[in-house]
Amino acid sequence: MRTRPRLLVAGFGAAVLLAGACTSDGAAPSPRTPAQPPPTPVPTSPEAVPSPDTGPGSALAAMEELCTLPEPEVDEGSGVPPEGPTPPVVAQAMRQLELIRGFGFSHPIVAEAISQEEIARRYAGYLDEAFPVRFYERRSRAWETIGVIPDGTSIREELTEFASTQVIGFYDTLTGELVFVGTEDPTPLERITLVHELTHAIDDQRFGLETIDHLAAGCQEEELGAAVAVVEGNATFFMLRWAQRFLTLEEQLQVGLDAAIQEPPASDIPPFIESLQLWPYEQGLAFISHRSAGGGPEAIDEVFRELPVSTEQVIHPERYPNDRPTPVDVPDLAPSLGRGWEDLDVQPVGEAWLSLALRLGVDGRLADDAAAGWDGGIYRAWSDGDAVAVVLATAWDSQEDASEFAVAMESWIQGEVADVLPVEGTGVRVLFASDQTTLDRLLAAVA
């Protein structure tokens, strides 16, 4: 069994997308996407981009040092299909999925129907195994300082809360475990959840989803977000196709009713965290729908063979696969900040992360437009006791794009302990601090 599992989940977000589609004309729809500016010209061959700086003192070197997630490893038991009988309802769903996916399972799947409470318990166990407490504590402090989550928020606790109310199934890419909320005689909504997870399983057997596990283990958040969007978007796409082909009209109507009844009430989960969890389903579905419309099943399969490397490529499918991010670095400012300062957190940030962050303080369309010219980004945070300093460095497709982002950030940080530095060519740096004294110290350090 390999360590550090990555769970691919089905949530109520996907169910809501389905409920809206079940009474449509039969085509798998794309969710409504934000209005976008005219597409940036995309090179017809992969861009030649400089290699990222990974030397001593670089942000990526610090990220490697801080990333304490265990790398997936294989022992003698990995790769062995889970043992056990395949229930008839699961076997039927597998056969139906093979028809619409275009290829078959290489070995049977053992699927287990469990309760919502058991889903939450197992997901909490996954968090314990996958992400050390210290990792979450450090990231929570960095996000608090940036302002995307309220003070005192624990990302770990919020993800656990999300799982307890939103997650209704998951597939473990490393063990092959597949569970869903339901019974041995599942309702149409429960069968749909099963098909969503079976799509993960058949894709994993066909293409291998180990890349996702390694990206997660290496804290490559931006590339991981793009890969997960493909996987979740594809599962949602074929879940919709399956429902429209194999559910009766009465069952489709029942799905809509069940989704409305079972959808959890509004929670206290910070909007930024919830949006990040739902983004892969909504935007991933739009990306896969675009691929299908342009090239059919083969165009979808090509994406699994060469996953997108940025959320920009998912949001703007015309930029896949050739528009690659520009590496951005934040040098170590700890020596300039003073004795006692040390690295706290480093995270690559892409168009999706920035757009969702900006939406917390500016109009949604303005946020999306301001993030649309993204070409690279990373933040680096340092701490000294309770004091935290963060530098967000970004690269943009043009100076105009850089200026548009800077203006949006100026609006977003009003009243906060933060500062947008003057635009330098196509680069924009934003400083965040836990207090004014720390911000003054950070300004002096970057100068």
Question: What confidence category does residue 73 fall into, taking pLDDT thresholds of 50, 70 and 90?
Answer: low
Domain-embedded: residue 43 = no
Domain-embedded: residue 375 = yes
Task: Check residue 261 and give its pLDDT.
Answer: 74
DSSP 23-73: TSSSS-PPPP----PSPPP--SS----PPPP-STTSHHHHHHHH--PPPP-
pLDDT at 1 over 80: no
Pair (83, 135) in one structural domain: yes
Pair (172, 70) in one structural domain: yes
Are 210 and 173 spatial neighbours (Cβ–Cβ below 8 Å)? yes
Pair (283, 373) in one structural domain: no
Question: What confidence category does residue 123 fall into, taking pLDDT thresholds of 50, 70 and 90?
Answer: confident
CATH code (residue 394): 3.40.1000
Pair (314, 224) in one structural domain: yes
**pLDDT of 180-228, one tens digit each?**
888 778 889 889 989 999 999 999 999 999 899 899 889 999 999 999 9
Pair (340, 280) in one structural domain: no
- Supply the range of the domain harboring residue 441: 334-446
Distance spanning both ends of the chain, measured CA to CA: 50
pLDDT at 350 over 50: yes
pLDDT at 31 over 80: no
Pair (365, 290) in one structural domain: no
The dihedral formed by the CA atoms of 7, 13, 16 and 21, expressed in degrees to the nearest 10: -70
Question: What confidence category does residue 33 fall into, taking pLDDT thresholds of 50, 70 and 90?
Answer: very low
**pLDDT of 279-329, one tens digit each?**
999 999 999 999 999 999 999 999 999 999 999 999 999 999 999 999 999
pLDDT at 400 over 80: yes
pLDDT at 36 over 60: no
Pair (356, 284) in one structural domain: no
- Last residue within a domain, chosen from 295, 319, 343: 319
Pair (264, 122) in one structural domain: yes
Element (H, E) at 374: strand 374-384
- Last residue within a domain, chosen from 293, 319, 345: 319
Per-residue pLDDT, averaged over 90-94, amounts to 94
Pair (204, 349) in one structural domain: no
Q: Which of 171-180, 248-257, 316-325, 364-373 is predicted least confidently?
A: 171-180
Q: Quote the CA–CA distance of 274 and 276 in Å, as a whole number.
A: 5
* C-alpha distance from residue 159 to each of 87, 126, 271, 294, 353 (Å): 31, 11, 12, 36, 17
Per-residue pLDDT, averaged over 394-421, amounts to 98
Most confident of 132-146, 202-216, 261-275, 320-334: 320-334
pLDDT at 50 over 80: no
3-state secondary structure of 11: strand
Task: Check residue 117 and give its pLDDT.
Answer: 86
Domain-embedded: residue 295 = yes
Pair (288, 382) in one structural domain: no
Q: What is the total residue count of the chain? A: 447
Q: Quote the CA–CA distance of 281 and 396 in Å, as a whole number.
A: 26
- Interior CA angle at 281 toward 89 and 29, to 5°? 80
pLDDT at 439 over 90: yes
Q: Which of 54-58, 114-118, 127-131, 185-189 is predicted least confidently?
A: 127-131
Strands (E), 162-265: 167-172, 178-181
Q: How many domains does the chain have?
A: 2
Q: Which of 35-44, 75-84, 252-261, 342-351 is predicted least confidently?
A: 35-44
Question: What confidence category does residue 75 fall into, taking pLDDT thresholds of 50, 70 and 90?
Answer: very low
Question: What confidence category does residue 6 fall into, taking pLDDT thresholds of 50, 70 and 90?
Answer: low
Helices (H), 7-71: 12-21, 59-66
- Last residue within a domain, chosen from 264, 296, 319: 319
Domain-embedded: residue 219 = yes
Q: Quote the CA–CA distance of 212 and 227 in Å, as a whole number.
A: 7
Q: Quote the CA–CA distance of 389 and 442 in Å, as a whole number.
A: 7
Domain-embedded: residue 100 = yes
> Do β-strands 111-114 and 178-181 pair in parallel, antiparallel, or remain unpaired?
parallel
pLDDT at 411 over 60: yes
Pair (295, 358) in one structural domain: no
Q: Quote the CA–CA distance of 258 and 18 in Å, as a whole number.
A: 11
